[in-house]
Amino acid sequence: MIKNVSIIGAGTMGNGIAHVFAQNGFAVTLIDVNAIQLEKAITIIDKNLDRQVGKEIISEDQKKAALANITTTTDMASGVQNAQLAIEAATENTELKLKIFKQIDEAAPAGCILATNTSSISITKIAAVTKRPESVIGMHFMNPVPVMKLVEIINGYATKKEVTHTIIELSKQLGKVPCVVNDYPGFIANRILMPMINEAIYSLYEGVAGVTEIDTIMRLGMVHPMGPLQLADFIGLDVCLSILKVLQEGFGNPKYAPCPLLVNMVAAGKLGAKSGEGFYSYTLGSKELLVSERFK
């Protein structure tokens, strides 16, 4: 039975994954190259647990117990040495992930399952740099992790059935709904989502409609909780661009070519909510959704 979970990368997704495992009684080791990022992650988890206490989802004692379940380290080798499951949630960059998987494979115990939270990078390619490709799997949580129910589980070419079964059962234990798919570019979630986001950006770029109109049509017409441009800002425009490139390269089909407007916005550092501006502008503390000056 899995009890000890190590999470590599303490950014947006890593802190959410740590939160959910810790809340469900697992011993979590959160690892990041950046010590400040680890401190930030604990502060965010604390705040998000407070929110759950405020909504009476958990008690104050459960919050304390969850925080006590998390330890942090900047040292990969010691951080994974007792892991039964290691989940990599570092920056979406193929070379970096290959390097990290080689490191985890060296340091983690023989029976440890190695999972990645990648949005789009091939599980099979990542597995191939390890000596245990049959124990490598995609465990794709959605953002924000404590709120979103879905876990997209991705079988690599060599992933063995027992490993998939363990990850399915574990996801259920976390209160999530697992869905198993195979390893092809973008898996299912992003293969379908990213072309829609790209098409929304093309519609804006070609002057078919404005930001508000595009998002309102998709929200009210298709009952999407947020429009595609707002969602792109939330995910991060750099992340959207890199996933589209994976789809374009992986399928060799020009229909996935990223819109030039998206390419330009990323080059200009307009990455969406995290940079303060994308299709909308995000002023600190403001809850109102304001269209960026550039698109008025």
Does the protein bind ligand NAD through residue 119 (CB under 6 A)?
yes
Contact between 92 and ligand NAD (CB under 6 A)?
A: yes
Nearer to ligand NAD by C-beta: 132 or 140?
140
Taking the C-alpha atoms of 271, 277, 278 and 282 in order, what is their torsion angle to the nearest 10 degrees?
120
Footprint on residues 23-52 left by ligand NAD (CB under 6 A): 31-34, 37
Distance CA 105, CA 109 (A): 8
Nearer to ligand NAD, 80 or 170 (CB): 80
190 is catalytic: yes
**Which of these is catalytic: 4, 15, 190, 198?**
190
The label of the residue with tokens 């495992």 reads 21
By Cβ distance, which residue is nearest to ligand NAD?
Answer: 11
Q: Which of 5, 8, 115, 158 binds ligand NAD (CB under 6 A)?
A: 8
Our CB check for ligand NAD shows the closer of 8 and 158 to be 8
Indicate whether 72 belongs to the interface with ligand NAD (CB under 6 A). Answer: no
Cα separation of the two ends of the chain: 55
DSSP codes, 192-260: HHHHHHHHHHHHHHTTSS-HHHHHHHHHHHH--SS-HHHHHHHH-HHHHHHHHHHHHHHH--GGGPPPH
Residue 140 is a catalytic residue: yes
The verdict on 91 binding ligand NAD (CB under 6 A) reads yes
Q: Residues touching ligand NAD: how many (CB under 6 A)?
A: 26
Tokens representing 150?
A: 């879905």
The catalytic residue among 88, 92, 152, 277 is 152
Residue listed under structure tokens 């740099």 = 129
The least distance separating ligand NAD from the CB of residue 119, rounded to whole angstroms, comes to 3
**232, 273 in Cβ contact below 8 A?**
no
Considering only 2, 49, 80, 100, the residue that binds ligand NAD (CB under 6 A) is 100
Which residue stretch of 7-15, 52-60, 172-180, 194-202 sits at the interface with ligand NAD (rule: CB under 6 A)? 7-15
- Tell me how far, at minimum, the Cβ of 99 lies from ligand NAD, in Å: 7
Residue 143 in the binding site for ligand NAD (CB under 6 A)? yes
The residue annotated as part of the active site, out of 119, 203, 281, 292, is 119
Judge contact between 122 and 183, C-beta under 8 A. Answer: yes
Question: What is the full DSSP assignment across 260-278?
Answer: HHHHHHHHTT--BGGGTBS
Q: What are phi and psi of 290, to 5 degrees?
A: -110, 125
142 Cβ contact partners less than 8 Å away, ≥ 6 residues apart: 148, 149, 150, 151, 152, 189
Residue 17 is a binding residue for ligand NAD (CB under 6 A): no
Q: Does 183 bind ligand NAD (CB under 6 A)?
A: no
Residue nearer to ligand NAD on the CB measure, 62 or 103 = 103
* C-beta closer to ligand NAD: residue 143 or 212: 143
Interacting residues of 57 by C-beta distance below 8 A, sequence separation 6+: none
Which residue in the list 15, 122, 140, 242 is annotated as catalytic?
Answer: 140
- Determine what percent of the chain falls in helix, strand and coil, rounding each to the nearest 5: 50, 15, 35
Kind plus residue range of the DSSP H or E element containing 294: none
Q: Catalytic residue numbers?
A: 119, 140, 152, 190
Residues that bind ligand NAD (CB under 6 A): 8-14, 31-34, 37, 89-92, 96, 100, 117-119, 140, 143, 235-236, 239
